[in-house]
Amino acid sequence: MKNGILWLLTLACLLTVGCETGSNSSPESSGTGSATSQTSTGTGTPSTPRGPNIVLVVLDDVDYFDLGIYGAPTTRTPRLDQLAGQGMRFDQYYSSPKCSDARSSLITGRSPATWGITGVLANYRRSDGSATRGPWRGLPTEITTLAEMLIPRGYATAHFGKWHLGTSRPEFLPSGQGFQESRLWSTGPVVDRPSGDGFYWGYNYVIDGVRTTAPRLGQPGADEAYLPRRLTDDAIDFITRHRDQPFYVNLWHFTPHAPYHVPAGFDNTSFGYNLNGNAGKISAMVTDVDREVGRLVDAIDALGLGENTLILVVSDNGGLPDGGGGRDAARQAKLIRAYKGTVFEGGVRVPCIARWTGHIPAGRLNSSVASSRDLVPTIAQLAGASLPSGVTGQNLVPVVTQDTTLSQDQFFIYQAYMTYADAKAAGADLDHLDQFALRSGNFKLIRGPSSNKTFLYDLGAGPGGEFADLSGANPAVVADLMTRFTAWQTHIADIPFSETVINGVRTIPFTTQLDFADGNFTFAADVESNAANQLGVIAHKAGSWTLFWINGRINLKLWDDRPDKPFADREVNLVGPLVTTGVKHRVGFSVYALPEDNQLVSLSVDGVAVARLIPDQYPAGQTLFAVNRSDEPITLGARGDGTQMFDGTIANLHLSALALPPDEL
Is 99 noted as a catalytic residue in this protein? Answer: yes
Q: State the DSSP H helix or E strand holding residue 605, giving kind and residue range, or none if neither.
A: strand 600-605
Which residues, 6+ apart, have CB-to-CB distance to 165 below 8 Å?
A: 100, 103, 104, 107, 117, 121, 138, 139, 172, 177
Identify which of 91, 92, 103 has the alpha carbon closest to the alpha carbon of residue 61. 103
| 352 annotated active-site | no
Euclidean distance between CA atoms 313 and 178, whole angstroms: 21
What value, to the nearest 5°, has the Cα angle with vertex 135 and ends 134 and 137? 155
d(CA 531, CA 209): 52
Burial tier of 323 (Cβ tally within 10 Å: 0-12, 13-18, 19+): middle
Per the residue annotation, which of 19, 99, 159, 359 is the catalytic one? 99
Gyration radius of the chain's alpha carbons: 25
Q: What would you measure as the largest C-alpha separation in the chain, in angstroms? A: 81
Do residues 33 and 396 touch, judged by C-beta distance below 8 A?
no
Question: Are 167 and 176 contacting, i.e. CB atoms less than 8 angstroms apart?
Answer: no
Closest CA to 288 of 268, 315, 259: 268
Q: What angle do CA 352, 357, 363 make, to 5 degrees?
A: 55
Q: What angle do CA 239, 245, 251 make, to 5 degrees?
A: 30
Look at strands 93-94 and 370-371 and give their pairing: parallel
Helices 278-302/227-241 angle, 10° precision: 10
For 384: left if phi > 0, alpha if psi spans -120 to 50, otherwise beta; the answer is left
Catalytic residue among 19, 159, 164, 359: 164
Gap between the Cα atoms of 318 and 40, Å rounded: 39
Beta strands of 503-552 (E only): which ranges? 505-508, 521-529, 535-541, 545-550
SS3 636: strand
CB 89 within 8 A of CB 400: no
The residue type found at 3 is N
Angstrom distances, CA of residue 81 to CA of 45, 176, 236, 282, 554 = 32, 35, 21, 18, 61
Quote the Cα angle for 571-665-602, to 5°. 30
- Cis? peptide before 256, omega within 30° of 0: yes
Is the distance from CB of 253 to CB of 162 less than 8 angstroms?
yes
User: Which residues are part of the catalytic machinery?
Assistant: 99, 164
